[in-house]
């Protein structure tokens, strides 16, 4: 919930069903609008044809939603091999200040 209580946000984490190393972290607003998405172990092609490597981050762009990806910024994600550390680095990147309560077994 935003500080002014006017917006609700969602934080999602998912793993691939076949390739478990393919992970995705994202924040959404209004249930459908993806604001930030971190993709680990998958590549992406931007609308202009540019190939973006592994890993990469999607940032909301007016008119394109989450269709544009960018290389990861330096020094933000400390250990992409560790899902737990990556989740906390992602929350820090997204300015999530109140850590949600997680269900036991989230990363089992």
Contact 52, 37 (CB under 8 A): no
At 4-53, the pLDDT tens digits run 888 888 888 776 666 656 688 888 888 778 889 999 888 889 999 999 98
- Residue listed under structure tokens 């919930």: 1
Q: What is the pTM of this model?
A: 0.81
Any residues with CB less than 8 A from the CB of 83 and at least 6 apart, and which?
Answer: 13, 23, 107
Residue 103, both tokens? 């269900």
DSSP 73: P
At 55-107, the pLDDT tens digits run 999 999 888 888 899 999 999 999 998 888 999 999 999 988 887 777 655 55
Instruction: Give me the half-sphere count of Cα atoms (radius 13 Å) on the Cβ side of residue 43.
Output: 6
């Amino acid at each position: 919930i935003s500080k002014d209580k006017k917006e609700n946000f969602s934080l999602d984490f998912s793993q691939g069903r076949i390739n478990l190393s393919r992970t995705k972290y994202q924040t959404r607003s209004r249930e459908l609008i993806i604001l930030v998405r971190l993709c680990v172990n998958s590549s992406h092609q931007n609308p202009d044809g540019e190939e973006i490597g592994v890993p990469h981050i999607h940032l909301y762009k007016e008119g394109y939603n989450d269709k544009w990806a960018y290389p990861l910024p330096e020094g933000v994600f400390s250990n992409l091999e560790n899902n737990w550390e990556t989740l906390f680095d992602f929350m820090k990147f997204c300015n999530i200040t109140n850590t949600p309560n997680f269900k036991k077994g989230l990363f089992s």
